[in-house]
Amino acid sequence: MKLLQPCIIAFAMYSKIPMPCIDWNKENMKYAMCFFPLVGAVLGALLYLWAMLTGLLHTGVILRAAICTLLPLLITGGIHLDGFCDTVDALSSRQSTERKLEILSDPHIGAFGVMGCTAYLLLSFALWAELTFTPKVLLILAIGSVLSRSLSGLSVVSFRCAKGSGLLAAFSDGAQKKNVRIVMLIFISMCIAAMAAISPIVGGTTAAAALLVFLYYRVVSYRVFGGITGDLAGWFLCLCELAMLAATVATGGLML
């Protein structure tokens, strides 16, 4: 029962899946981040099932790619894409660190955020349309949804926070960092091992793409913002999943 409440918090925060109302107190938030990858497991399973269904129904490529692009938004409520847009606005502002952090906190979206969002969705749609839909390729991407959230969760309990307030700071401060870090590393190790076991080339390349984006996330966050925020974590997750999709598209044909 003690672990059920942190799980509910994780799904309530990072998904639109209906959850019962509970207190977001310090005790319940200690291990909430441990369950963040499970949101990715649900999303990955739904993407896999949708892709398999389209094969049985002989659905056209456009509809298949459109639903694959939109399904993450339906499940997550766009929380990560919102952070992506805010981060694009901040990075494009060419302002000081303090001003960039203010832009991240601004609830309004700017022109660069709109352009970034449009480009992201368009590129995601194009990549899904180009993907070689096979069970193994889809399974690698489903696992990738867990990997991206495990890496994001690891950053929350490992990277320096740019601000002392906000939801990410609350999750970071309330977490049992050592234990959560161990759980995230276990998730990451299992995901990479599973992806490589399915296909050393495709799975290994896809996992490597995620790790490279994670490194880029760390460098940009510290150099430009002085640490991470919730928006930056969302920006990373979007870039990570786009990079994994691109890597799978580039190498997926090798599994035929």
pLDDT digits (tens, 9 = 90+) for 208-254: 999 999 999 999 999 999 999 989 999 999 999 999 999 999 997 66
Q: What is the pLDDT of residue 74?
A: 94
Closest C-alpha among 218, 207, 231 to residue 158? 218
Dihedral angle over CA of 146, 195, 242, 83, nearest 10: 20
Mean pLDDT throughout 67-78? 94
245 vs 52, higher pLDDT: 245
User: Does the pLDDT at position 166 exceed 70?
Assistant: no
Q: How far apart are CA 189 and CA 186, in angstroms?
A: 5
pTM above 0.85, yes or no: yes
Banded pLDDT at 151 (limits 50, 70, 90): very high
Q: How far apart are CA 119 and CA 124, in angstroms?
A: 8
Closest C-alpha among 67, 61, 5, 64 to residue 31? 5
Which single residue is written with the structure tokens 């992201």?
A: 120
User: Does the pLDDT at position 198 exceed 60?
Assistant: yes
Mean pLDDT throughout 51-64? 89
Q: How far apart are CA 66 and CA 34, in angstroms?
A: 31
